[in-house]
Amino acid sequence: MILTSEIIHTDPNDPGPRAYLVRQAGDELRPGIVLIQEWWGIEPHVLDLAQRLASQGYAVMVPDLYHGQIATEPDDARKLVMMTMQNVERVIHEVTLALDHLRADPRVQPKKLALMGFCMGGTVTFKVACRYPHLAAVSPWYGGGIDPEKEPIDGINAPILAIYGEQDQGIPVSRVRALEHALHAAGKDATFHIYPNAGHAFLNDAHGSYHAESAADAWAKLLAFLKTCFH
């Protein structure tokens, strides 16, 4: 199996929005996934996740919402995410560009498109899923910045697999349960898993909150979820 990767400029009229596309070599039709970064930016961990998914047979696009900047320290990551999310409409636009690019790719099955993200990307995943109608699967991981009373959650029309850690100091379980309740009340197909021994960003083995057992189980659940949604 050979993986190919390339940088795609997703807006022909603007050189700023770009994304990494990772897939297996060849012209076989594949389901597509847009994967949204954590607050660090496009660091090796997020590219490794894209490669892991591509090795499972998916075409994976990772929009670079920081336009080339990468944080290595929490203070720098905090500044970058605050600056970026001040213009959340731009963020939503750039993720939408990535989704539209995958849908138009002749090597991607247009009706088999997933959206997922981590940390900041988990929040953005929820926001975009409320507005983008062409999704087959949605998987936000430890994304907390969505208020179901302010977001158009009725616009979500794909199954959701949401992943959280109970020990997350930034996202209280009460907030997670309130969001879960709101989605169910709106008639959405939403499954929430909260891992009791895990904190924030527990899948990321490059940072201190990694929890191997929870990470392995959550990743297995994600793969099963995608397989079901793309069946």
Neighbours of 147 (CB within 10 A): 11
Residue 186 has φ and ψ, to the nearest 5°, of -85, 5
Q: Catalytic annotation on 48?
A: no
Where in the sequence is the domain holding 132, given as residue range(s)?
3-229
Out of 45, 119, 130, 211, the active site residue is: 119
| Per-residue confidence (pLDDT) for residue 173, from 0 to 100 | 96
Whether 105 and 136 have beta carbons less than 8 Å apart is answered as no
Q: Catalytic annotation on 130?
A: no
pTM of the prediction?
0.96
List Cα–Cα distances, 134 to 119, 139, 221, in angstroms. Answer: 23, 14, 22
189: CATH: 3.40.50.1820
Out of 45, 101, 200, 211, the active site residue is: 200
How far is it, in rounded angstroms, from Cα 160 to Cα 116?
Answer: 10
Per the structure, how many domains does the chain have?
1
Over its length of 231 residues, how does the chain's per-residue pLDDT go in tens digits? 899 999 999 998 888 899 999 999 998 999 999 999 999 999 999 999 999 999 999 999 999 999 999 999 999 999 999 999 999 999 999 999 999 999 999 999 989 999 999 999 999 999 999 999 999 999 999 998 899 999 999 999 999 999 999 999 999 999 999 999 999 999 999 999 999 999 999 999 998 789 999 999 999 999 999 999 998
DSSP-derived 3-state class of residue 18: strand
Which amino acid type is present at position 60?
V
Q: Classify residue 56 as exposed, middle or buried by CB count within 10 Å of its CB (0-12, 13-18, 19+).
A: middle
How far is it, in rounded angstroms, from Cα 78 to Cα 221?
Answer: 29
Whether 176 and 164 have beta carbons less than 8 Å apart is answered as yes
> How many alpha carbons lie under 13 Å from residue 12 in its C-beta half-sphere?
2
Q: Catalytic annotation on 231?
A: no
